[in-house]
Amino acid sequence: MNTLLLTKLIGLLSTLKSLAISWYSRIHFRLLTSEEVYLFLKFFFIPAIVTLLSLITAVIIYRRFRLDAIDLQKKALDDTVNNFLTDIIFLDYSDEETLEKIEQFQKEYVKNNPKIERFILNKLIRIKRNVQQLNQEKFIFIYESFGFRKITDKLINSYSWSKKSQGFYHYQILDHKEKQPLIAPYLDHDNGKIRSNALIAMISLSSDNFDILNDYKHAISEADELKILDVIYQKETVLPANISKWLRNKNESIVSLSIKLAVHFHYSFSENEINHILKSYDFGVRREIILAVRALKITDAIEPLVAHYNEESNLRNKISILKTFQKINNKNTKELTFNLLSTEKNIDLKFEIVNCIHQIDQTFFQKFKTNDQQEEELIAKMLLHHNNVYLN
C-alpha cells in the first residue's frame, strides 16, 4: 500500500514538474490553454491558498488559547502575590517570621524568575504609594528581605535615563532615606531629566528644611517645580526654616519656588525682600512676587510696586501690578495710581489704570476734569467698557 502510494506520488510530482516546465515555456511564447489554467489552479494555487489559510487559522486559535492561559496564570499569580503581601505587611509578624515566609514564598513561586521579582517589586511600590500610615521600618525590611535592592540599584546604574529615574522613584516612594548618598551625585548630571528626577527624589527623602535646595545651581522647569511643591505639601511640613535664604538665592528657579512656598505657608515678606526680588533680571520671578503680594494682600507693598512700575520692562508684569492694586490698596493707592495715568502712554496700561482707580473709587471719575479733551473722551470710553457688562 505504501509502495503504491509512493509510486502515485512520484508520478504526480513528475506530472506537476512537466506542467510547470510547459507552463513556464508557454507563458513566454503564447497564452495558456483553459486546461492548463485549470491544472494550475487545481494543483498549485488552490492547495497553496488552502494551506496558507489553514496555517493562519491554526496560529490564531493557538495564540488565543495561549493568551487565555497566560491571563489565567497572571490572575492566579496576582491573587497569590496580593494575598501574600497583605499578609506580611499588615499582620503582626516578627522579623524572623517575616523573613521565613518570604524565603518560603521565593522558593515556591519566585524561583529566581526576574519577571516575577519585578512584578512583586512593582506591587510593593504601589502599596507603599497608595496606603498611608504603614510601618516604615517593617516595609523597608520586607523590601530588603526580598533582595529588591539589587534591582533598584541596577536601574540606577543603567545608562537609560528612564531606568535611572525609575530607581530614584523606588527609593523616593519607599522613603528610604539611607539611599540619599546614592542619588545625590546625579544632582549635577549632564542629562536634565536625570538631574530633575534626582532632585525630586532627594527633596522627598530630605528633612523638613529641604537643605538640598540651598546650593542647587541648575534651572528648574515649571513642571518639575510643580512636582517639587507637591512633594513638599504632601509631607505636611511647616514653613521651611531656609525660606528667607532661598528668597535671596542666586538661582532664579529657587527664588521662584520659594515664593510659591511662601504664599502657601502665608509667609510675611519684608519690604526689603520684595524690593530685592523686584530687581531680579528674570521677569517670571518678578511676576511671582507681584502675584504673591496680591495673594497675601500685603498692603505695605503698594509703594514698592508703584516705584517699580516705571522700571518694569515686561508689559504683562505691569498689568499684573495694576490688577494687584485693584485687589489690595491702602490710603495712598488711588493717588499713586492716578499719578501713573497722566504719564502712561500705552493704551492697554492706561485702560488698566482707569479700571484700577474705578474699582477703588467708583465716584472718582464723576468729578474728574482735565484740560485735555481727547484724554477725557478716551477715559469715558474706557469707563463705558468697565461699567457695561456687554462691552467688558
Q: Using alpha carbons, list the distances in angstroms from residue 211 to 205, 207, 244.
A: 11, 8, 13
Q: Give the mean model confidence (pLDDT) for residues 28-36.
A: 62
CA distance 98 to 145: 9
Residues 6+ apart with CB under 8 A from 282: 252, 255, 256
91 grid coordinates: 499582620
Overall average pLDDT of the 92-96 stretch: 89
Closest CA relative to residue 285, chosen from 263, 250, 253: 253
Please choose, from the candidates 80, 205, 88, 184, the residue with its C-alpha nearest in 3D space to the C-alpha of residue 143: 88
Quickly state the pLDDT bin for 38 (edges 50, 70, 90): confident
- Please state the rounded mean pLDDT for residues 321-336: 84
Give the position of cell 534591582. Answer: 151
Q: Is the dihedral of CA 318, 309, 252, 265 positive or negative?
A: negative
Chain centre to alpha carbon of residue 45: 56
- Residue given cell 464723576 in the structure block: 366
Per-residue pLDDT band at 391 (split at 50, 70, 90): low
The grid cell for 99 is 523573613
Terminal Cα-to-Cα distance of the chain (whole angstroms): 100
Query: How confident is the model at residue 2, as a pLDDT?
Result: 47
Q: What is the pLDDT of residue 26?
A: 53
Alpha-carbon dihedral 204, 206, 208, 212, rounded to 10 degrees: -100
Give CA–CA dist 2/257, Å, rounded: 87
Average pLDDT of span 360-374: 75
* Of 55-64, 241-250, 263-272, 296-305, minimum mean pLDDT range: 55-64
CA atoms of 230 and 390, how far apart (whole Å):
40
Overall residue count recorded for the chain in this entry: 392
pLDDT digit string, tens, across residues 279-308: 999 999 999 999 999 999 998 898 899 889
Q: Are 213 and 203 in contact (CB under 8 A)?
A: yes
Q: How far is Cα 247 from Cα 71, in angstroms, rounded to an integer? A: 55
List, in sequence order, the alpha helices (H) in the chain: 2-29, 34-40, 46-90, 95-105, 114-130, 136-145, 149-156, 161-174, 180-183, 192-205, 222-234, 243-246, 252-264, 271-278, 283-296, 302-309, 315-327, 333-343, 347-360, 373-387
Integer-rounded Cα Rg, in Å, for the chain is 38
Contact 359, 323 (CB under 8 A): no
pTM more than 0.95? no
Burial of 246 (0-12, 13-18, 19+ CB in 10 A): buried
Please report the sign of the dihedral spanned by the C-alpha atoms of residue 240, residue 242, residue 245, residue 249.
Answer: negative
Mean pLDDT of all residues in 118-130: 90
C-alpha separations of 323 from 100, 159, 257, 283, 333 in Å = 66, 49, 22, 17, 12
